[in-house]
Each structure stands twice: as C-alpha cells, then as structure tokens.
C-alpha cells in the first residue's frame, strides 16, 4: 500500500494491514455525533405504521425501532471490528413518519466522555432503527428501502466540529451540549 494512502486511512498500518488505532494518549473529552437515515415505503404501509403508534407490545413500530437503535448504539464495538468500546453518556433517537417520503425519518445523537468519537455509535443507532422498521413492515411490503444513512455532524476531539450542513443549524435532537 502506498504510504500516502496508509497515512489517510486511520485503521491501517504502513503496510496496509488493519489495525486498531491507539487512543491511549488522547484526552478524555465530551464527544458527540449525529446521524440520520430514511426508510421509504408505500403510503399504505406508512398508514399502518402511523396506526400502530401507541400499540402495546411490539405493535408500535416507531417505539420498537427506537429501542432497537438505542440498544445497538451500546453494542457498536461488537459489530464494527476496529471500533473502540466507548462509555456512552447518552443516546437519543427520534423517528417520525413523513408522508412526503413517504416513510420514516430517523435522527440519532450519541454522546460520550471518552478518548475517541461516537460517530459509529450514532450511525449504528440510526441503521439498526431503520432495519427494525423494515423488519416490522416487511409483511405488508417487501420493497421498503433504507436510504441515506449518514453522519450529520460530530463535535469534540482533535478534529473539532464537522457538520454536513456547514453554515446552517445542526440537527436538533435533544441537544445537550453546545
């Protein structure tokens, strides 16, 4: 592997082999990240999702997906091979039916006081929530699509703040830090 490529890929060594980044010398600071996803479906399927809100047991698609995303954020290091386990201090997930998609919009925000960021935790939370929506509606519609899983912003650490929406207001999902 070329040295310039290896230098830009943080999880590879000079020979191009996978490695876990050593974060031992980094200071523990507040790290925050927001991610999003969309689950696109037919309008009739979305109506079923909307009618199930508040249902008991596993009937409430949005509540079940929200819980699945929260649980997944805590297990990120078990799913992504080179991801460090982090001490999450908070994770928020919002799921909302959106007839304009039509479908469900998902916004996730993860926070940790640790030596490494929580971008992966936010994206895993959004992704697993989207997969859970799919799982719960696949009996009504197999053609549901999961789209646009992406990092929206991150704060903290050596690289500071990054936002997909530079110059505009960042995602506002129960913001706890400035």
Query: Which residues are marked as active site?
Result: 135
Q: What's the rounded Cα separation, in Å, for the pair 113 and 163?
A: 20
Contact predicate 68/110, CB 8 Å? no
Report the candidate in 86, 91, 90 with the shortest Cα–Cα distance to residue 26. Answer: 86
Contact predicate 115/125, CB 8 Å? no
Query: How many Cβ atoms are within 10 Å of 53's Cβ, its own excluded?
Result: 13
Q: What's the rounded Cα separation, in Å, for the pair 119 and 136?
A: 26
Q: Give the orientation angle of helix 43-52 with respect to helix 61-74, to 10 degrees.
A: 80
- For the four alpha carbons of 58, 63, 68 and 70, in that order, the dihedral sign comes to negative
């Amino acid at each position: 592997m070329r040295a310039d490529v290896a230098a830009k890929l943080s999880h590879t060594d000079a020979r191009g082999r996978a490695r876990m980044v050593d974060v031992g010398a980094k200071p523990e600071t507040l790290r925050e990240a927001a991610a999003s996803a969309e689950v696109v479906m037919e309008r009739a399927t979305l109506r079923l999702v909307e009618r199930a809100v508040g249902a008991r047991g596993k009937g409430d698609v949005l509540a079940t997906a929200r819980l699945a995303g929260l649980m997944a954020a805590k297990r990120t290091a078990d799913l992504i091979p080179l991801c460090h386990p982090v001490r999450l201090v908070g994770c928020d997930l919002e799921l909302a039916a959106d007839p304009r998609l039509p479908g469900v919009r998902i916004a996730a925000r993860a926070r940790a006081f640790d030596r490494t960021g929580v971008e992966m935790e936010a994206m895993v939370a959004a992704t697993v929530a989207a997969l859970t929506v799919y799982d719960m509606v696949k009996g009504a519609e197999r053609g549901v699509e999961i789209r646009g899983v992406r990092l929206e912003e991150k704060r903290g650490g050596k690289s500071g703040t990054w936002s997909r929406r530079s110059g505009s207001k960042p995602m506002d999902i129960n913001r706890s830090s400035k």
